[in-house]
Amino acid sequence: MTKSYPPIHLGAPGEEISIKDLRTVKLRFKKLHQVRIHYIYDFLQPRQQIFLDLLPLIFHVNSPLLPGYISFGTPSGLYQYRPGPRTLKAAGKFIKNFAFDGGRAAGKEAIDGLYLMGSVGSIAYSKTSDMDIWLCHHPDLLPGEIKELSAKAHAVEDWAATLGLEVHFFLMNSKQFRLGLDAPISSESSGETQHYLLLEEFYRTSIYIAGKALAWWLVPPHQEHRYSDYLQHLVTQRFINENDFIDFGGLETVPAEEFISATIWHIYKSLHSPHKSLLKLLLMECYASEYPEPKWICRQIKEAVYRGNFSSADLDPYVLIYLKVEKYLQEAHSVNRLALARQNFYRKITESSDEAITPQALAYREKYLRDIAERCRWPINTLAELKQHRYWDIKRAIAEHDVILRQLTHCFRMIRGFAGDHIHRNYRQSQDLKLIGRKLYSFLDKKPGKIEIMTTRAAVHNREREIFIAENRYAAAPPVWCLYLEDVSGSGGVSGEPVLKRGTLIEILGWLMINRFYLPEQQIHLGSRRLHLSREELQSILEQMYGFIKNNFDENTSLTHYYAANTLKKSLLIINMGQAIPEDAGKGLCLISERSDVFSYGSERKCFIQAVDRISISSWNEITSSHHEGLEGLFDCLTGIINGHDRRLLPSDLTILCHTPMRAKSIIRRVAAVFATLVSLFSRKQATDAPRYLLAGGKGHYLFQLVDQRLSFCALQSNEQVFAELSHPQRHFSPLHFDEEVLGETPLALIYRLNRPRSLQFFYFEARNAVTVYILDERGALFCRQHAEADSDHLIRHYSAFLSSTLGRIFQDAAADIDYYEVRKNSSGLFSCHPVTVKSDTDPDSLNLSIAGLIHENHPGYVIRCGDRVFSSQDHGARIFQAVYQHIIRYRQEHPNHPVHLTDIDLPVSAFGVTCREELQTIHYLKMKQKIEEKMNGRSQDQG
C-alpha cells in the first residue's frame, strides 16, 4: 500500500527554500533506500546477510579480527557513521564483547559514503545477481592510500565470495568523476564512454548504505536543467554545507556520443545475455528518441519522492524501465518488439525466482507480474504463454534467436541514424567501442561455413535425448543436411520440416556442440545414401569433436583479443568421414606396395584422401567449418589454415581424425607430416626467403609457394609441367624443397640441395649420346636443355662464357659465383654430383654469336657479331636476322659438326618481357639464348 506524504516544493534561486524541506527530502530518499535494503535481505541467506550488516563497519575501522583487514594505516572512517544493533550483533561474531567507541575522530573520515547500485534492491534481483558497490572516498587521498584502500576492497570481495556473493567494489572520487575521469568499468558499463548514462543508472538504482547523502537529491526536478547553478546557490546561501554531501554532478547536458556508446555496449552484451540486456538496450533507444531532453527515469523517481506519494513497488527501477519501454513501443506500434520486451521482462523476474527465495517473496513476484499484466493490459493468455519459457527446445530457441537478431539489427540501424543526425564529423570512437564494433561485426557476419552462435542457447532447458540428421538431395542441386527433433525417415526418404538446414554435416555437428545442444549421452541418428558411418565411428567422431570444442572454445572471449586481427587459433580435421577407399576393379583393397605414400600409393599412384571436413576456432572466437573433396581439397584446407593464422605464430600441429580401415594411422601421420613441413617452410621468415615445396599426389605433383604473402599451390600433371613450372622467374631467391620420392628418376632433388642465392650452379649429365644441362640461377629458377651429339667439354666452355657475361650484367655491383658439376648415375640408379673445373680456352672452329640492341633515330635495332663478321640494322635493316642466318648456313657447309653458340646478349629489358632491370635474372637470358640458338641452328624457319 502506498503511503502519502505532503508534497515538497523547493523554489528556484530567489524564491523560498526551506531548510526543513531539504532535510525532509534527504530523509525520504533514505527511507526509500531502507525499504530496498529490506528487499535485499529477503533474498539473502542468513549467512549472507552478515555481509550487509558488517559492510559499513568494515570500512569505518581497521580491525585484524574483521574481514578485509590490511593494516592499521588503511584509510578508514565513514562519515558520521554509528553502527546499529544488527551491525553490533554481527561484529560480536568476529570480536568477542565488541563495543563501538565512536571509531575515528570527527573530521578525519576517509570514506565519504557507501552505495549499492544495479539490479540489487529491485524486483529483478536474485541470488545469482552480483552486487556493485560504489566506495566513495575523500578526494584528497594520496595514490598510496588509494592503493591500500583498493587492496582492502578486494579482500572484502574475497570474503563475500566465501558467503556465495559476487561483489564488485568501485573506488569513486566524486571530484574526478565530475570532471569525466575515473568512470568505473563493469559488466554493465564500458566506463568513461558512458559517463552520464552511468550516472543516470546510479541515481536510478543506488541504495544508500552509510556516509554522506547525495547532493543530487536536493536539486528539485524542475531545476534539473540548471543542476550546477542550483546546487551552488544552496551552498552559497548556506542552505547546506557542501562537505555533508557527495556531488557526482547533474544530467543537464549529456553528449549525443554517449547514446551511441551505450547502445553499442548493450548490443554487445545482448549477444550472450539477451534476456538480461535487451530491456536496457530498448531503454537507450527510448532515451535517444527523446534527445536532447531525455525523460530520465531517475528524474521520475525524484518527482515521486518530492510529491510524497511513493513506495518502493511503484519506484522499482527495473519495473520503471519496462513501463517506459512498453509505452515507447506502443506509440511506435511495434507489436513484435513489444512482445519481445514483455518476454524479457518476464524472464528476468521469473529467473530470479530460484530455490533460495522465500515462499512469501515468490508469491509477491507472481502477484506483481499479474498486476503489471493487468495494468498494462497484456493479452489475456500472455502470462500463460510466457510461463512456457522453461520448456524451450531447440526449435523454440532458434525462432527466438532470429527475433533477437532482428532486434539487435534494428537497434544498430537506429543508432547509426541517430549518429548521422547528432554527431559531429570529428567524433572519434574510443578504443573500447572500436573493439566492441569488431566483436559485433564478428558475431553478426554470416560468411559461408561460419557456425552461428545462438544468443538463446542458455534458454534451452530441455535437451533432446535423440537427434536425427539426414542428407536430402534435390535433383541436381547440392545436398542439404537437415536437423530434426524426431524420426522422420522412412522407406520413401525424409519428410517433415527440419529445424535447421546446412550445407555440410560437419557444420550441423559443430552447431550442436558450440551451442551446447549436444550432450555425450545423447543419441544422434544419421541418414545418408552417400556417407556410411558406423555407429562406432560416429560416436568416436562426436566424442573427439566434443573434447576439441570444449578445450578450445572460450565462450567469454575478452575484448582485448580484438586489438589484433582475427586469425585462426585451432583446427580439427576429419578425413574420409563416412567414406571408404575406392577398390581396384575386381582386385579388392590395395595390396602392399613399395610405394607406400597414401597420397600416391603403389604403381597405379592411388590417393587415399577422399574427403576432408574441418572445424576451426579463431582468436575472435569465430567457429568456421568447411568440406573439401580429394587431395586438392586437403591442400586447399591446409593452405587455408596456414593463411588464416598469423604466420609468426603458426601451430605446430593439427587435431586430425581418421577412421579409414587399415589406413587411418598412416593417413593421419602423412597429413600431420606434410602440415608440419608447410609450417616449417612457410612461417614468416626473412622477406628475401621464398621457399617452394614439391610433393607427389596421385599421378602428378603439387608445388607450394607463397604468392603475395599467401600460401598457394598448383597441380602439375606431368614431369614436363613440373620442369616448365620450375623454369619460371622468381621475385626472390626461392629454394625448392622436395618431398620424399619426388622425381626420383631425375637428379633435381640432388642439385637443388646445392642451390644458393647470388650464385649459379651448372650441372651436366651425359647419357645415350646426349648431354643434359641443368642450371639453377641466382633465384632458384631451373633451366634444363638436352644437347644431342654434343661434346661436354665444348658445351661447358660455351655455357661458361655466356654465364660469365650474363652475371656481369645482372650483378653489376659485385661478383657472383658459378659452380660446375658433373652428374653421374650408378648401377643402382642413384645420382651423385662431382665438381669440375672449366677450361678457359675456346674452340677455334666454333662460331660464337653475340647480339646487342641499339637505338637509332628512335627505332630499335641490333648489332650481331657472328664469328669475325659484324651485322648491323643500319646496314641490313629488318633483314638483319636473315643475313646472319645465311652466313651461318655457309659456315655450316664447311663445319657441319659445329653448332652455333650464343655467347653474349645485351638487349633492352623489354625484349625479355619485364619492365625494369631489377626484374631480370639469369633464366631470362638462358631462355633467350635457347630461342635464338634454335633459330640460328636451323631448327626454326621463322627468320623474322
What pLDDT is stored for residue 249 in this prediction? 94
pLDDT bin (cut points 50, 70, 90) of residue 807 is confident
What pLDDT is stored for residue 184 in this prediction? 60
What pLDDT is stored for residue 857 in this prediction? 56
Residue 318 has pLDDT above 50, yes or no: yes
860-890 per-position pLDDT tens digit = 788 888 878 898 888 888 888 888 888 888 8
Q: Sheet containing 207-211: give its strands across.
A: 167-172, 131-137, 111-117, 207-211
345-363 per-position pLDDT tens digit = 988 887 655 555 667 777 8
pLDDT bin (cut points 50, 70, 90) of residue 855 is low
What pLDDT is stored for residue 106 in this prediction? 45
388-413 per-position pLDDT tens digit = 766 678 888 888 888 888 888 888 88
* pLDDT (mean) for 402-425: 84
**C-beta separation of 589 from 595 below 8 A:** no
503-534 per-position pLDDT tens digit = 999 999 999 999 988 888 888 998 888 888 88
What pLDDT is stored for residue 474 in this prediction? 73
What pLDDT is stored for residue 7 in this prediction? 92
**What angle do helix axes 195-205 and 257-270 make, rounded to 10 degrees?**
70
What pLDDT is stored for residue 630 in this prediction? 94
What pLDDT is stored for residue 105 in this prediction? 45
C-alpha–C-alpha distance, residues 2 and 22, integer Å: 22
726-753 per-position pLDDT tens digit = 999 998 899 999 998 788 889 999 999 9
- As a whole number, the mean pLDDT across the chain is 85
Q: Which residue has the higher pLDDT, 312 or 418?
A: 418
111-144 per-position pLDDT tens digit = 999 999 988 888 888 777 789 999 999 999 999 9
Q: Which residue carries 622425381 as its cell?
A: 743
Bridge partner residues of 693 (DSSP): 704, 737
**What angle do helix axes 317-331 and 274-290 make, rounded to 10 degrees?**
60
Burial of 56 (0-12, 13-18, 19+ CB in 10 A): buried
Long-range CB pairs of 311-316, under 8 A, 24+ apart, other chains included: 311/1, 311/2, 311/3, 311/35, 312/32, 312/35, 312/36, 312/39, 313/2, 313/368, 314/2, 315/32, 316/122, 316/123
**C-beta separation of 850 from 905 below 8 A:** yes
C-alpha–C-alpha distance, residues 668 and 811, integer Å: 47
pTM comes to 0.80
**C-beta separation of 87 from 60 below 8 A:** no
Mean pLDDT lowest among 357-366, 372-381, 456-465: 357-366
